[in-house]
Amino acid sequence: MEEADESVGYDMEFVPPLESKYECPICLMALREPTQTQCGHRFCRSCICQSMRETGSKCPIDNTPLSFSSLFPDNFAKREILGLRVKCPNPGCTFVFELRNLEEHNLKCDFYQEQCGLNCGLLIHRKSMEIHQKNECAKRLVSCEYCFIRIAFDEQENHLKECLKFPVVCQYCQMQLTREELAGHIEKDCFEVIVSCSYANMGCKEKMTRRDMLMHEKNSLVIHLQYVASTLNEMRIKSKRQLEKPETETFYHSWHTDGCKTDNEEGVTYSTSFSDPPSFTNKEPSGAYALEHSAFDFAIPDREPMRKFLPKTFNSNRSRQFSPATSHRSARHHDDIQSQYSTQTMSHMDLSILAERMRYQEGHIATQEQKILELQAKLESRDKEVKELTQKISRWEAIVMSNGIYYWKFENYTELQTITRSGETSVVHSPGFYTGYYGYKLCLRVNLNGIDSAHSSHVSLFVHFMQGEWDDFLDWPFSGKITLTILDQNEDTRVRNHISETLIAKPALAAFHRPKTNRNHKGFGYMEFAPLRTIHAGHYIKENCLLIKAVVHSN
Amino acid sequence: MSNIAAARIQREFKEVVKCDEAAKCAIKVEMVDSDCMELRGEIAGPPDTPYEGGNFILEIKIPETYPFNPPKVRFVTKIWHPNISSKTGAICLDILKDQWAAAMTLRTVLLSLQALLAAAEPDDPQDAVVAKQYKEDPQAFEDTARHWAQVYAQAPCNNPGCSAKVNQLVDMGFTETASREALSMHSWDVEKAVEYLMS
């Protein structure tokens, strides 16, 4: 059983200066956990372990072959070094004390600096931490004064650039509104924005502010009507031209597409009144022409709308292509043309209704899109709230649900072990858990691939105390016992062979003192908890999960 | 750079600055960049050697894995020595290779290099031409090493003969460096050096 400590020597100013015999030849600092080799050289334990891992098992001083098992702790040197006097390392503090009292002094030293818990990266004197986190820290949460979302102080500036509730001024009418309202305002409401006349499609080229436009539309009723009339007339002529083409199919197609385009582009140039009869109706049709229209004639006895009979026309046109009887039908030809007019007129009216409907739909879609954007923004802020609440709940669950027994389901065992072996993270911590309602908060720490002397041979398992909600009225240091178990997940419950160890808290160890940081750096447990061979050979891993159980009894 | 490497270099740097040898101006070290990855060392030529009175500049690069791997050291000052490349300054010394041990420091490295200048190992050469000369014509080797130390390492001048020969070749139109190298390689035989330069 060993206390976990992975750091190099003590970087302290000794009074008087440190003798070189107590200096680690690797880190050149005062020996921490002095460890001696068979050849009589002393190193910090972590230094010599690292050296043997990095450069092979030989002494860094004289290259004598070494093995991990032949290293032994030099407790004599350790006692001597802990008895040496050092200056307090905290800038500003002038205290001199024995090295063994370092932790104790740090607990009460006014100049002790620790990392700000909000991850702003600053080192802050313990005394000033509360004020720092409340008033100064760049990562402290503040409310956006416009949308009331909670954000880190240093993100405020960026947030204001996109905050939907941020006040902006309409560039046209100088009205004050929120950023999310601006687009809709300019699109639909702003009186000062320059817009095209709503008869632009019919040929009105006027552009003016929306305010003047109301008056314009009122005053220009007659002109607008003329535009509409000439547009319709133009469409009629255009579709007639199409009719003259031999391929009825082409006509059918372009009547729907070109007709609409004409609305916008050429309608203005025509001033002929709608009732003007088309001039070519008076002409005597040529043979081909007659043939073409006799096809229509054949197909419109009941004056159906043109759309419906067109496909039929196409067929009949083909079938009558070779008919010799064409000229005797010319007497009825004028009537045919007339009927086509009425159908076309109907279709033009349909078209303008359709165009109107489309305009309406477009407006409708724009409104809907705006609504969707608003909903999305709302949803995002809800998501954030839900996330915060979930975190709160899980914290409370951890308090309420446990009664000193904690199961840690360690998922993705294989992947994590591979990563661990490649040296990425040597350690994984469990979520925190409480020993009971109003209990101590702890977490488990596992080095899947072992550490130091247990490296690559054992799973190392430790407990670390964490800062909990009730630390203020709990007894410190913790006393009691902790049982750590890796559960055998064999299907057959009779042959299950759990690996279990029980440890009794030693109040002298820093691991059982009240944590000064979110998680106590010092842990307590077993470097060689279970041989990796056993773990991999047995039924300890099931569905890629390792189950670790911790039972904590406090006295 | 890993924490341990940075912390070590800081301490070693102080150690060199404070040590007795530094006080005697025998070794010196300076930071080149603030993150300690690169340093500039300086050693004095040891007394009673052809390098006496010279100052030799070294380039020292610290690897991430220091001190578990040796620093990469190279002579910046040109030097005529069997275990140091006369062209690149690369050093052949066991402690900078497989015999490195984590307990060694900048100070021990600089002192080892100084010792190497005093006691060459011609049987484990870096520069074969120099090593051959060292073994076969010790007088020419000493002259050459002394001349190089004088030209490149500011050692006091006490052999004007070599400079005269270099100038002779320079007058023939060769560059000074090339002339000196050719003469050094051919134990100051002017004819052979010219032949070498012409080929």
Confidence of residue A22 (pLDDT cuts 50, 70, 90): very high
> For tokens 């578990």, what's the residue?
B68
pLDDT of residue A242: 83
Does the distance separating the beta carbons of A54 and B8 come in below 8 Å? no
Q: What is the pLDDT of residues A60-119, one digit of tens each?
A: 888 889 998 999 999 999 999 999 999 998 888 888 999 999 888 888 888 888 888 888
What is the b/e burial string over B99-113, where b = at least 16 CB atoms within 10 angstroms of the residue's CB? ebbbbbbbbebbbbb
Radius of gyration, CA atoms only, chain B: 18
Q: Tell me how crowded residue A32 is: count the other CB atoms within 10 A of its CB.
A: 23
pLDDT at A293: 43
Optimal mutation site among B2, B3, B4, interface A, most CBs of chain A within 10 A? B4
Same domain, B133 and B114: no
Are residues B80 and B173 both part of a single domain? no
Decide if B37 is inside a domain.
yes
| Contact assessment for residue A435 and residue A404, using Cβ atoms and an 8 Å cutoff | yes
Do B113 and B132 reside in the same domain of the chain?
Answer: no
The last residue of one of the domains, among B98, B118, B138, is: B118
**Are B140 and B51 in a shared domain?**
no
Q: What is the CATH number of the domain that holds B15?
A: 3.10.110.10
Task: For B175-184, write each residue's pLDDT tens digit.
Answer: 888 999 999 9
Q: Check residue A296 and give its pLDDT.
A: 41
User: Per-residue confidence at A291, pLDDT binned at 50, 70, 90?
Assistant: very low
Q: Are residues B13 and B94 in the same domain?
A: yes
Across A165-170, average pLDDT: 89
CA distance A308 to A300: 10
User: Both B113 and B134 in a single domain?
Assistant: no
| B103·A25 Cβ contact <8 A | yes
Domain annotation covers residue B73? yes
Among B91, B118, B145, the domain-final residue is: B118
pLDDT for position B85: 92
For residues A117 and A517, give the distance between their C-alpha atoms in angstroms, rounded to a whole number. 8
pLDDT of B2: 57
pLDDT of B73-119, one tens digit each? 999 999 999 999 988 999 999 899 888 888 888 889 999 999 999 99
The answer to whether B101 contacts A50, with C-beta atoms less than 8 Å apart, is no
Most confidently modeled range among A61-70, A151-160, A484-493, B53-62: B53-62
Does a structural domain hold residue B174?
A: yes
Structure tokens at A478: 């913790």
Say if the Cβ atoms of A62 and B101 lie within 8 Å. yes
Q: Based on the domain organization, do B111 and B37 belong to the same domain? A: yes
- Indicate yes or no: CB of B102 within 8 angstroms of CB of A28: no
- The tokens 């600055």 sit on which residue? B17
Mutation pick from A28, A39, A52 vs chain B, by most beta carbons of B within 10 Å, is A28
The per-residue pLDDT for A301 is 42
Euclidean distance between CA atoms A151 and A139, whole angstroms? 8
Nearest CA in chain B to A42: B103
Range of lowest pLDDT (A10-14, A233-237, A320-324): A320-324
Residue B36 among the catalytic residues: no
Q: Is B169 a member of any domain?
A: yes
A146 contacts: CB under 8 Å, gap ≥ 6: A160, A163, A165, A166, A167, A178
Provide the whole-model pTM.
0.46
Predicted local distance difference test score (pLDDT) of residue A92:
83
| Least confident span in A8-12, A271-275, B155-159 | A271-275
Grade residue A399 by pLDDT with cuts at 50, 70 and 90. low
pLDDT single digits (tens) A203-228: 888 888 888 888 888 888 888 888 88
Q: How confident is the model at residue A190 (pLDDT cuts 50, 70, 90)?
A: confident
Residue of B nearest to A48 (CA): B102
> Do A203 and A267 form a contact (C-beta atoms < 8 A)?
yes
Closest CA to A384 of A135, A148, A134: A148
How close, in Å, is residue A55 to chain B by CA atoms? 6
Alpha carbons A538 and A191: distance in angstroms, whole number: 79
pLDDT of residue A402: 62
Average pLDDT score, chain A: 78
Alpha-carbon distance B8 to nearest alpha carbon in chain A (angstroms) = 6
Q: What's the length of chain A?
A: 555
What's the 3-state SS for A104-134?
HHHHHCCCCEEECCCCCCCEEEHHHHHHHHH
pLDDT digits 0-9 by tens, A480-532: 889 999 988 888 888 888 888 888 888 888 889 999 888 888 888 888 888 88
Nearest residue in A to B10, CA atom: A28
Give the 3-state secondary structure of residue A291.
Answer: helix
**Of the ranges A307-311, A450-454, B86-90, the best mean pLDDT one:** B86-90
Secondary structure element (H or E) that encloses residue B117, with its range: helix B106-118
Residue B180 resides in a domain: yes
Q: Which residue type, as a one-letter code, is found at position B39?
A: L
pLDDT score for A401: 58
Share of chain A above pLDDT 70, in %: 78
Count of A-B CB contacts under 8 Å:
45
Pairing of strands A176-178, A167-169: antiparallel
Instruction: Using alpha carbons, list the distances in angstroms from residue A475 to A136, A483, A508, A510.
Output: 33, 20, 14, 14
Q: What percent of chain A has a predicted confidence (pLDDT) above 90? A: 13
Condensed to tens digits (0 to 9), the pLDDT of residues B121-177 reads 888 888 888 999 999 999 989 989 999 999 999 888 767 788 888 888 899 888 888
Q: Which residues of B touch A59 (CB under 8 A)?
A: 101
Give the one of A28, A41, A51 whose C-beta lies nearest to B68's C-beta: A51
For residues B40 and B86, state if they share a domain.
Answer: yes
Chain B residue set in contact with A, beta carbons under 8 Å: 3-4, 7-8, 11-12, 15, 65, 67-69, 99, 101-103, 105
Residue B51 in any domain: the answer is yes
Give the pLDDT band of residue A336 (cuts 50, 70, 90): low
Q: How many domains does chain B have?
A: 2
Query: Tokens 């979110």 label which residue?
Result: A518
- Please tell me whether the interface predicted TM-score (ipTM) of this complex is above 0.95: no
Same domain, B110 and B142: no
Binary contact (A55, B7; C-beta < 8 A): no
Residue B50 lies in a domain: yes
| Between residues A258 and B177, the one the model is more confident about | B177
pLDDT in the model for residue A339 = 55
> Quick check: B68 and A29 CB within 8 A?
no
Q: Is the pLDDT of residue A345 over 90?
A: no
Of B57, B84, B118, which one is at a domain's C-terminal end? B118
DSSP strand pairing (A96-98 vs A85-87): antiparallel
> Pick from A151, A153, A148: which is nearest to A133 by CA?
A153
More confident residue, B3 or A341: B3
The verdict on residue B123 lying in a domain is no
- Which chain B residues have a beta carbon less than 8 Å from that of A60? 67, 101-103
Q: Containing domain of residue B70, as a range?
A: 3-118
Assess whether B114 and B132 both reside in one domain.
no
Is the domain of B176 the same as that of B109? no
| From B25, B36, B92, B162, the catalytic residue | B92
B61 and B83 co-located in one domain: yes
For A26-110, strand residue ranges (E) read: 34-36, 42-44, 72-73, 85-87, 96-98
